[in-house]
Structure 1
Amino acid sequence: MYTTSSAMLDALVEHGVSHLFVNLGSDHPALVEAIARARAEGRTVPEVITCPNEMVGMSAAHGHWQVSGKAQAVIVHVECGTQALAGAVHNAAKGRAPMLIFAGASPFTQHGEMTGSRNEFIQWIQDVHDQRGLVRGYMRYDNEIRTGRNVKELVHRAFQFALSQPQGPVYLMGAREVMEEEVAPTPDEALAWRPIDPPGLNPDMVATIGQALLDARRPLIVTSFVGRNPAAVAPLVALCEQLGIGLLESVPNAMNFPHDHDLYVGNQWNQPRLQQELDSADVILVIDSDVPWIPTVSRPAENARIFHIDADPLKEQMPLWRIRAQGVCRADARIALEQLLAWAQSRTISTEEIAGRCVFWKARHDQRQRQLLAAEAKPENGVIMPEYFVSRVRAAQTPEMIFVNEGISNYHVVFDHLDLVEPGTIFTSGGGSLGWNGGAAIGVKLARPDATVVALTGDGSFMFTVPSSVHWMARRYETPFLQIVFNNRGWKSPKLSTLAVHPEGWAAQAHQIDTSFEPSPDYVGIAAAAGGAWGRQVRHPDEVDEAIAEALAMVREHRRAAVLDVWLDHH
């Protein structure tokens, strides 16, 4: 039969879904049957990627979209699988990652009235009052499939929400009986459900922001994720060059601006210090940023004029948010930047004044570069410093490398010392739930088989990735990647958070505060047992270059995942 499940698969294909990241259960017989029939008949269906852990699967869909720009689908088991998605749902929502999640539901008949009626004990205990409610607060759209007669319409509508700005995940669910329903095939109407065209700035606001930047003495742009759309980077660079604007990243989620550019003045995370560039700016344009600064430690001058552009400028999912902007605009970053650039290029501008601004920002850029270079010096005490290690990864970098960064307390070290210049070469989850990097690396490799994928992770976030599932999947689906573990034998970030609030408290004086991972797990052994990964422990600076070279050779030449367990100073 051609069923609801068959129609749903066709709708996914019509929307360009190439992969289904699945964790199947007793609610999916109709889907399993529909996939098997389509294969037997030679009909196109997405490639199925079996994911032993749901969060890993959804993280893989997230990573795939980050490099392909194509939303994928995740299939999970009733409310149990929905809950097991856990932090990956948070990451996709906060990282604005579009994807479709489909979960089955317990059958709604129990006496064999319909195909798919209850026949296993778990179908009574997995029937909950509001399955969609488990994730509703994170979804751009959610619905229940109640008949196969309009299932394609529901899939199309879901994707229209997922792909319209602000983008994000969507959720559908359907009971067994509904997914088994026989229906008539319907034509492909996906083009009639295109996402909403992204908005630009109105002409008055273009002139207002443009004039403010032109009149400023020290104009500054702050961004976090302009580079999620690589096409937005070029107009951002051109606008900064046209008007002599400095560029500061706050909690960067992508490569937003070439780090070797004279107008690039750095990135800020949780460092407890005033950002001088932020304090010295008199006009600030915040574009595509959820946290442009942390006001308790670093904020603009009181008299600075602030403008804000974002697809979600109200931050509708954040109960508390304010940056004192006098102009707030809902607009697509690429479109807005091209509008501002065109406005600036149409003006008569004093080249001497622009040159003066550029000299100022270049001095800040050069000062930062000297500080970074000094931090990269090879340690003489035999202890590997993360700055040194990342600089050696940079030395081994090749153009096809893509980095996924979940370094947590070393987030900023990775962004500082990789010194990236090309859009689309580094990503973070965009959220705050740890364990994204392993699945994301698999998704990136599936989307870009030619890339050398390097995941940088803390030891805590390594364990959150569910490495047994990650490395099994890497071997099964031939997606080898290099995973670098910054091993400081514990959770450094909770320790830093505690000391920031209680610098002289009891915890500061305590011998241990329950953040240690000692004895340290055998991270290499875990990956080897699960997926035949190669690995080695790296404890001395003299071992670093050889270890990196050997790991990259394993990934590229031997097609094996590799793990480097890099021992840093104790947290």
Structure 2
Amino acid sequence: MYSASTALLEALGDSGVTHIFANFGSDHPALVEAIAEARAHGRAIPMIVTSPNEMVALSCAHGSAQLTGQAQAVIVHVECGTQALGGAVHNAAKARVPAFIFAGLSPFTQEGELRGSRNEFIQWIQDVADQRGIVRGYMKYSNEFRTGKNIPQLVRRAMQLAHSDPKGPVYLTGAREVMEEEITPVAIEPDCWRPLPAAPLPEASVAEIAAALATAKRPLIVTTYLGRKPEAVHELVRLCERLGVGVLESVPTTMNYPHDAAMYQGNHWNHPFQNQRLAEADVVLVIDSDVPWIPTINRPAESARIFHIDIDPLKDSIPLWYIKAHRSFRADAATALAQINAHLGRAGWDEAAAGARIQHYVRLHDERAKQIEGREAPDGDTITPEFLTAAVRRAIDADTVILNEGITNYPAICDHIARTKPGTFFASGGGSLGWNGGAAVGMKLAAPERTFVALTGDGSYMFSIPSTVHWMARRYKAPFLQVVYNNRGWKAPKYSALAVHPDGYAARADDIDVSFEPPPDYAGIAAAAGGAFVRTVKSAGDLDEAIREALRAVREGGRAAVLDVWLPAL
């Protein structure tokens, strides 16, 4: 029998999906049967990856799409499974990551009228009025399969929307009776469903932006996620090196500019001070950034001219957003930068002025590099975040992929891991913790030959559902190294409280309910769930050897590894 579920599997495969991260339930008999039937006949379908936790499933798809640009599929169980996707829905939406989510619906018949009619008590309890409404505010597209006859078209439309900028997740549902429907296969023309091409800058604006950068005394580019496309990084380096333009990352979620390149001027997060590079800039070009600065603390000079290029310049999913840009454009970063570079090649620029700017930024870059190196010095036997991150950096190569969910240690990790190649550094792009473990599994499945290292706070480690993550890593042969920056509590809420009430009761209290003392056995969780190589490291002298052994276990032993590294307690 060729069913609607068979059509769904084929449509996903034809759309480029290689992995389905699945958490099956009572609404999926037709899919389970279609998968078994395909295997029995040797027909190719995407790999089914059993995901005991739904948030981990979507985090896997999220990570895979970040690395490859290709949406993967997630299957969950009715409205309960949809809600259990939890913060991963927020993360995928805010990171503009393409993902295909399918959830079943409770059967709509109850007296055996159709195959799939209700036969379990839970199907009344799970019948809700507006299941799609649970995630509607986060989706690029949502719809319901009402017949199997047009499933290929709806899957293609969903994927077209998911992969068109600004990218994002899509959500489809289908009741048991629909997914059981016997249908005739439908052939469609794939070219009709391609994502929209990258948007360029208007030609007149290319010249305006190029001239502003070329004639400024202190031009600066601010970016967060430009590095989602490696070609954008190459064009940015070319532009900055020829004109002498500094680059400042604001809460970076990708590797946007090589940290060892002279125009790189660092990264700014929630630092409670004015960034001097931003303060002195007379022309600022913001490219692909949701939060280029926090204006109550850190902002450009009032006299600075601000240009803004973004795949999502209006930020229409953020109710309060503006940066007072002189001009703002919806355009693809790689395309826009290539246009500016091409214009400069035709029009030329003042090379003497560019040389003076280059000298200025080289001096500042070198000063910053010395400061960062100084922070990596050991503090007796104490392990600091800077010392730990530098030790990881020394043990890996330039192609190793870093996942950063260090939260209060975001800046230290970014500074001291110091990535130099596009596609080797990622953060979640959202604000819901627990992305790193599932994302590492998804990335490893997408690129088995590469090494992945997840650097995580102890709070975000617990949010990641490590028992599920490490079971999946073992079952599907997706080993990675996970390093826990263990300060025995939630430092972020403590910092937030003290920032607003520096002299309040919380500042004087011994306990503000953010401590994890006594700490869980983080390493032991991974060992029990997934047979991971584990070490708890409390002494600086033991760190290098522990990292070497852990990486050996991942690369040679095919085992995931967890290092529970104790930092000073919060």
TM-score range, shorter chain: over 0.9
Query: Contact 2:399 / 2:421 at 8 angstroms: preserved in 1?
Result: no
In 1: Cα distance, 2:284 partner to 2:145 partner: 47
State the AA in 1 paired with 2:114: M
Unpaired segments of 5 or more residues in structure 1?
none
In 2: Cα distance, 1:76 partner to 1:371 partner: 48
How do 1:21-40 and structure 2 match up within 5 A?
Answer: 21-40=21-40
In 1: Cα distance, 2:398 partner to 2:419 partner: 10
SS in 1 for 2:347: coil
Query: Contact 2:28 / 2:104 at 8 angstroms: preserved in 1?
Result: yes
In 2: Cα distance, 1:537 partner to 1:345 partner: 55
Query: Alpha-carbon deviation of 1:189?
Result: 2.5
2:183 paired with 1:168? no
Aligned match of 1:531: 530
Query: Alpha-carbon deviation of 1:418?
Result: 0.9
Query: Contact 1:242 / 1:344 at 8 angstroms: preserved in 2?
Result: no
State the AA in 2 paired with 1:282: D
Query: Alpha-carbon deviation of 1:279?
Result: 0.2
Q: TM-score, normalised by structure 1?
A: 0.99
State the AA in 2 paired with 1:360: H
Aligned match of 2:16: 16
Aligned match of 2:206: 206
CA RMSD of aligned residues (A): 0.8
Deviates more, 1:413-422 or 1:188-197: 188-197
How do 1:115-514 and structure 2 match up within 5 A?
Answer: 115-380=115-380, 382-514=381-513
2:122 paired with 1:114? no
Q: TM-score, normalised by structure 2?
A: 0.99
SS in 2 for 1:451: coil
In 1: Cα distance, 2:189 partner to 2:106 partner: 30
SS in 2 for 1:455: strand
SS in 1 for 2:165: coil
CA offsets, 1:218-254, max 9 Å, x none?
0000000110111211001001112110000000001
- Aligned-residue sequence identity (percent) comes to 61
Aligned match of 1:81: 81
Unpaired segments of 5 or more residues in structure 2?
none
In 2: Cα distance, 1:84 partner to 1:179 partner: 22
In 2: Cα distance, 1:329 partner to 1:339 partner: 14
Query: Contact 1:22 / 1:75 at 8 angstroms: preserved in 2?
Result: yes
SS in 2 for 1:346: helix
CA offsets, 1:24-61, max 9 Å, x none?
00000001111111111121100000000000010000
In 1: Cα distance, 2:115 partner to 2:388 partner: 59
In 1: Cα distance, 2:231 partner to 2:190 partner: 25
In 1: Cα distance, 2:238 partner to 2:198 partner: 21
Please identify runs of 4+ aligned residues in structure 1 that moved more than 6 A.
none
What is the number of residues matched between the two proteins?
570
Query: Alpha-carbon deviation of 1:191?
Result: 2.4
Aligned match of 1:547: 546
Query: Contact 1:11 / 1:190 at 8 angstroms: preserved in 2?
Result: no
State the AA in 2 paired with 1:164: S
CA offsets, 1:137-189, max 9 Å, x none?
00000000000111111111101110000000000000000000011011143
Query: Contact 1:78 / 1:104 at 8 angstroms: preserved in 2?
Result: yes
Query: Alpha-carbon deviation of 1:470?
Result: 0.4
In 1: Cα distance, 2:457 partner to 2:364 partner: 30
Query: Contact 1:242 / 1:345 at 8 angstroms: preserved in 2?
Result: no
In 1: Cα distance, 2:233 partner to 2:263 partner: 14
Query: Contact 2:61 / 2:74 at 8 angstroms: preserved in 1?
Result: yes
